[in-house]
Amino acid sequence: MPKKIKGPARKPARRKPADRLNRARFWLLVFFLFSMPLFFTPWNTEYGYTKSIYTLVFVSVLVVLWGVEGLMRRELTVELSWLFPVLPALLGVSLLSLTGETPVCVVLQSATLVLYFGLVFLLVANSTGDRELLWILAALLAGGFGNAFLALLQHVGLAPGGPDPIIATMGNRQFLAGYLSYLVLPTGVLLARVRRPWTWAMVLAVGGFNLAIMLLTRQIGVRLGVGAGLMFVAFGLGFWPARGGGLGRWGLAGLVVLAALGAVLGLVGLVGGVGLGAFAGAVWALGRLLRRFLWAWAAVGALVLAAFFLLLPVTTPLAGVRQLWERQSGAIRAWDWWVGYEMWKSHPIAGIGLGGYKIYFVPYKVPFLASPARQTYAFPFPRADQAHNEYVQVAAELGALGAMVALGGLVLLVSLGLRRVARQSDPTKRLELLLLGGGLVSVFVHAVPTFPFHLPASSLAFVTLLGLALSPRYGPVGSWAIRLRRRALSTAFALTLILGLVVSVVAVRDMVADAHLFRGQVALQLGEVKEAKALLTRAVQLDFCPRMSLYQLATAHARDGDFLQAQALFRRCLRLYRPESLYAHLAGTNLQVALAKEAQGDRAGAAADRAEAKALLQELLATIPFREQELEARYLLAVALLQEGEYLQAKEMGETLVALEPTFERAWMLLGDIARGRYLWDEARAHYTRALNIIRDKERRINDELSRPLTLARYGELQSELSRLQAMKTALENRLRELP
């Protein structure tokens, strides 16, 4: 039989350029998911800020590349899912919230971040085959491990960590714990899917390490979130048949979890872990029972309502629950929520404005403290950036419309998720859906005492898990795809390109502005006021919506004696950045300007400035400020009274001040000025001498502290205080020499 003649070996087909771009775009997405939680720069003022800028620029690149890929293919199919309409609805109510008090630039900044995390959801939902799923989850897990490892180094003193030495690149241990907790249950997807033993062992080791660091943060909220997610998974496994990974591997994973609990929490952790496992087993059995006996749903519903009643601090009769609430700063959380309620009452339909909670927290303390509920909360509490409850903050900032959109989106997500699980024929994919759902449940539960949707890394974990769970990989339920061709594709690409360019340019400018702000703050702390003014002026010019930079620039002008410019800048801050300190700074500046106007004969202008100062100080006092802020406000009110010629009222207030704080040198100096104005020379001399002695004592203590190692912030604070005391001492010595 003649031999067959072999033809030339067939070369593997070359990938099309669009396919190569698709793979490059996917690997860029994986790199972004890994690197964003780790990203920070040492020359910016806030960890989350740099992560937000990184997200805006990187996602712009990814979306534009997606558009280029569509142009190369001459069509682009985009999986949206039925949940997608929630995104434009959120953007719509965000724009409607412009009818509130929040400035346009603040609303636009916040709405842009909402849009961009929605784009991350789309990028993930359209990138999920079997391998893609594993790489996306591995990227999140690796980013979590990098942060967890850095946190451990900070904890043992091998890496700098600031006052709270377990923050990694998140800026706060609570933020770190939240991000790690959302990945605990989704790590099970990798454990179920990975086949190679060494890779599986690596995933288990990294997941166990992340869990241990999460526990090390000692945050109760994340434990509640993970516990609730675990109960969801246990119930789902009982109600719907699911499998994957093998019992041996899951048993080993359980031992690693117990080891993490024991290593961090000791015997209490081990006992708690065993108890939690037993409870999860009972919930699994409950799921089995409810699948077989539908009548049991009524009894279970009653038990859930009873548990809710017993665990809610406001309604529970259990002393242990109330004590835990108090130990975990429950009253402070409730403070935040009540202020959010006052905002909602003021703007019930469209809210105070997206991003406005932290701006208007202080003024809205006043109506709350005037309400009947104030008796329980009549204690000093500082301005909060967030409401420490995402649901309260949505209602406060976006009103009833925003709350309806959020609630509708949550109901839709629950409906889609449960239908996907129920109709999933592959038991391993059903297990994956349950584990991803457990991660989402952790986020939603943790959103009750904290604010994960206002943190870039936590938001990234949430939208990634959401994109995976609603991707076409898990079947057609809830799937909604659109196909863009010709003019629609070209128009979408052009709009995306313009959006990406504009957002990226603004974001980079903002990041540069923040770097100038950082350098300006350092210069101000070191007493280099001229340099600080130049740097902060540049920061304000570059920033799309200057807030902190505006406040710091106003402070620098006040330090330099340019009170008119400082007054104008402080007034702009009233709608952009309104901490308690702004009230005293603007009031003090107004009083300085009033003196200058009076010297020029502008009595009406001086009276108006003093009236504004007094109104600001009275509002500050109505918020029950901390003692130092209260003394400052009362002192400035006394100064205003003295400028108005109300000597007796000013003296009464000054005497109250020195009774409250005998070492308040400015109050003694004020009493001396009042006595001098009434020609009581001996009394004036006694008050001035008392103030001078206090200043000398404070100078001695400051110089002692300056001789020891200090942080830059503390050094700048002491130098500023020392300069102020030296200027006061010179003024007092001059006054004493002028007395007859």
| Strands (E) located in 200-244 | none
pLDDT tens figures, 715-734: 878 888 888 888 889 988 89
Q: How confident is the model at residue 530 (pLDDT cuts 50, 70, 90)?
A: very high
494 C-beta neighbours (distance < 10 Å), count: 11
pLDDT tens figures, 580-601: 999 999 999 999 999 999 989 8
Q: What are the tokens at 179?
A: 């991000």
Model confidence at 330: pLDDT above 80:
no
Residue 76, classed as helix, strand or coil, is strand
Which position has the higher pLDDT, 569 or 14? Answer: 569
Model confidence at 306: pLDDT above 80:
no
The pLDDT of residue 5 is 53
Contact 460, 170 (CB under 8 A): no
Burial class (CB in 10 A: 0-12, 13-18, 19+), 462: buried
Which position has the higher pLDDT, 658 or 294? Answer: 658
Query: In the predicted model, what is the mean pLDDT of residues 537-551?
Result: 95
Question: Which residue type sits at 231?
Answer: M
The pLDDT of residue 1 is 44
Which position has the higher pLDDT, 320 or 251? Answer: 251
Q: Comparing C-alpha atoms, which of 124, 31, 236, 134 is closest to residue 472?
A: 124
Model confidence at 102: pLDDT above 80:
yes
Which position has the higher pLDDT, 538 or 328? Answer: 538
Query: In the predicted model, what is the mean pLDDT of residues 316-323?
Result: 64
The pLDDT of residue 312 is 65
Check: CATH 3.10.450 for 651-740? no
Model confidence at 11: pLDDT above 60:
no
Q: How far is CA 104 from CA 98, 110, 238, 582, in A?
A: 6, 10, 50, 21
pLDDT tens figures, 385-442: 888 899 999 999 999 999 999 999 999 999 999 999 999 989 999 999 999 999 999 9
Model confidence at 493: pLDDT above 90:
yes
Domain boundaries, the chain: 129-292+451-471, 651-740
Residue 483, classed as helix, strand or coil, is strand
The pLDDT of residue 125 is 95
Label residue 171 left, alpha or beta by phi (over 0 means left) and psi (-120 to 50 means alpha).
left
Model confidence at 8: pLDDT above 60:
no
- Average pLDDT, rounded, for the chain: 89
The CA-based dihedral angle spanning residues 245, 247, 252, 256, taken in that order and rounded to the nearest 10 degrees: 80
Contact 264, 215 (CB under 8 A): yes
Contact 208, 260 (CB under 8 A): yes
pLDDT > 70 fraction of the chain, expressed in percent and rounded: 94
The pLDDT of residue 119 is 96
CA 228, 231, 235, 237 dihedral sign is: positive
Please tell me the distance from the alpha carbon of residue 291 to that of residue 284, in angstroms, as a whole number. Answer: 11
Q: How confident is the model at residue 156 (pLDDT cuts 50, 70, 90)?
A: confident
The pLDDT of residue 443 is 96
The pLDDT of residue 320 is 64
CA 467, 472, 475, 476 dihedral sign is: positive
Q: Comparing C-alpha atoms, which of 29, 30, 33, 36 is closest to residue 50?
A: 36
